[in-house]
A and B are shown apart, each in its own frame.
Chain A
Amino acid sequence: MSYSVVVIGGGATGTGTARDLAMRGFDVTLVERGNLTEGTTGRTHGHLHSGGRYAVSDQESAIDCMQENRILHRIAGHCIEDTGGLFVQLEGDSDEYFHKKLEGCADCGIPTEVISGEQARRQEPHLTKRVKRAIRVPDGAIDPFRLCVANAADAVDHGARVETHAEVVDLVVEDGRVTGVEIERKGPNYLGNGREGQTAVIEADYVVSATGAWASQIAEMADVDLEMAISKGAMVVTNVRQIDTVINRCLPKGDGDTIIPHETTVLLGANDDPVDDPDDYPEEQWEVDMMIDLASEMVPITAEARMIRAYWGVRPLYDPDPDSTKESGDVTRNYFVLDHAERDGIEGFSSIVGGKLTTYREMAESASDHVCDVLGVDADCRTHEEPLPGSSDISVLEDQMENFGLRSPIARRSTQRLGDRAADVLSTKEPNPTVCECEAVTRAEIQDAIDGVGADPNGIRLRTRASMGNCQGGLCSHRISAEIYPKHDAVTARDSLDQLYQERWKGQRHTLWGRQLSQAMLNHLLHATTMNHDADPAVGGPSVDYEAFDGGRTDSHTEEIHGD
């Protein structure tokens, strides 16, 4: 008989832990209140760290980053873009810190190469002329959505259950032991058993909270006091790739000075400011302006770039020694497995907090090791060896590019996203038109996502990138809705449109100037004027007295033909 474990949280750490435990033979249920990646994971910078960023101030984290960076290249190749990274020193930036950075990298086993300003500009022509020199490090870009979905899919393949839109509303505590979780089904388009608002108890021999920034809220349900040191960061998205390398400023204070290429975009970010509530903190104009201003010091054309949206994430930091830490940026990026039996006298429950996206796998391994220890199970971790689904044979990618009757740029984007699953997803006898032109997503890929997440448009978006390009869903949100039908009824599909359109609007509000403001007006005219979705009587808009309106000219039913 295997032990049952509930993992709370559908981010990288949660899906990674679910996968690890499932591979070790546990009976795992993962519960997530929204979509996979809906918390911090889906709102990161997507920076695959070399550790260079922490090589001076936080060497333990730096060493972990470099080790995990190497492992992720082996197991998650289809989620990674090997862009390489540069720490750039601009005129006036400290020489002393530049040397400290080099030494720190050496201490942590991070390979470096110093290049001249001229070489740096040859590699990245849009870098400022003020660049003196740069340190090359093995940074990269990682797609957190693909990563999480692959972890969750593999967990399921190893027998786990993954319940999204299932919010933990209480922990079941009996005699000082957590024996399960009570969940409530969320959202109108929940896929699976149950209906919105329904509750259920899932019993478990052990519960792992991998809820990151939300860890205090979960802990409190067992009367455990867990204080997190969470902080927010803004990221601004440009519409084209001005650079192809991760660019960091080589300065001690890392606040909004990293530029990361991702797919067709570049992400500017991120500041580091403490917040109290991970669900309710201000998104402020100065943050957006600061990201653009800091990025343009390194890459001046970003000041002129078209920004398509901004988003915020909240770091799941934990400070073991808050009295000695001065500012949010100084809190360690290290991770901690908190055993609430030892720490708080509550058995059967631990929280994994802190850490980085780059170190998610190691965090999952530690959390799983801990579960094994507590339950007395002898099983080794294999997640550092076994590739994730999609990444088992990356070499097939190139061969598949032209195979699916798709024009080649679309085929390339699709196969990059799908990895070695491309053949399964894209082989279809049906017409396979492009649904999202900005991100080159075809019907087959959308349908595959709908099979995975149901009518949840944000789940579809995260899996496929549909609606994440220039038009921000203006030209495709209604198409995605049409794809949801008839697998789901018209009401559900219509609701999905509103849900997606409103979600896309949320991020665009921060970048409403220049061409993106023109785009917003065009979207508004298409959806409000042409489709009249704002006043739709089918979803609560004003009702209509059809008889009172013009029914057409009475003679109209016999048409004449003379060239209109």
Chain B
Amino acid sequence: MYKTIIISTILSSLLLAEGFDYKGNIGVETAYINHDTVGKRDNQKSLTLALELKEKINEGQFVFSGKAILDKDDKNRRYFDANDLYYKHNFENSDLLIGRNTRFWGAMEFYNHTDNFNTKDWLDDPFDYDSKIGAWNIAYTHYFENSEVAFIAKLYEENQRVQDGKSANNFLPPNYSKKLEREKGEDRATFYLKYSGSGDEIQIDYTLLYQNGYDEQRYLSPVKGSVRQHAYIVNKLMGYATLVNGETIYKTELAYTKSENDYVSDYAQLSFGLEHTIYGIWDKSDLGLLVEYYRYDAKDKQKLGAKDFGNLFADDLTLGFRLSLNDGADSDLLGGLAIDRDNHEKILFIEYNTRLYNKYKLGLSYQHLSPENGSTFKELDRATLELGYYF
């Protein structure tokens, strides 16, 4: 109720203000899932709304962006959330942000070990790693000519809500409770020190990060008859970089996490890959070829590791392509094969996106999960259709 009042007040102020900038979309999403798990739905249908409002005030800017989902069957999946609700003040060589927002950290295309600022929005789609829950934080960033340094204090760890028990996207026990157990309490902030830069003569972008506070991944443990996520304290060093050489982009992400929790092992994460583009392969079409490898290694095998956290990228190779047609509708095709060497399965995926009549966007996708001996998953096909009107 309190959250609704705050959001409504800020929204009204933005809408009443002159010269505010807006954009958004309203759409339908439908998914068909072919599986043989008893008691799970084989389809998901929903209406979606996304809205962004921006209002510039002298040297500052108010930003609101929210999303709403209305699922036909899943009552849990009928919600509204404000991922961005912040004020940013721009100074000559720095800025200060106060509020709730999402951030992107990383270099890889398909999955980012280092993109850990926000809790992922499993209520929307647990397999869409770009779907996130905004985090309340205060951030100060100072800019130099070719680099920047930021200090960020994340003030609160979000609960992770999930789709209902009949959803094929819910892998948690039936007695899962969304209430997060925080090892050091709700008031313990998480701090980040981030340095990013770009090369002068060499086409390189790089970022180094130090984190102290709650880790993004959480383990499950029973509490008072329910199963809850547990957030624990870590010290983490991360880095990611992209380097361009000719028509090839080389990428890497690295992280080392020292856990302060007795159950959780220290762990290292590594990913590297490349993207090579062949221009004008047919008419104006460009073809990008992608190869990416991801690794997660726990130091102490007796303690909790990747599988216990549901991390699917412990020893994975992805081979993919992106065909950009460069037509008036900005059509593109993304596809590939993900080979999960740790969980013994292969995932074939293909996505097609195009614009219709200048205002509508159509997205089609198909995934086939093929398990091998030793996999915890069963064979599964998933086909989705998204159609949105953009304004």
**Are A and B subunits of one complex?**
no
Taking beta carbons and an 8 Å cutoff, which residues of A are in contact with B? none
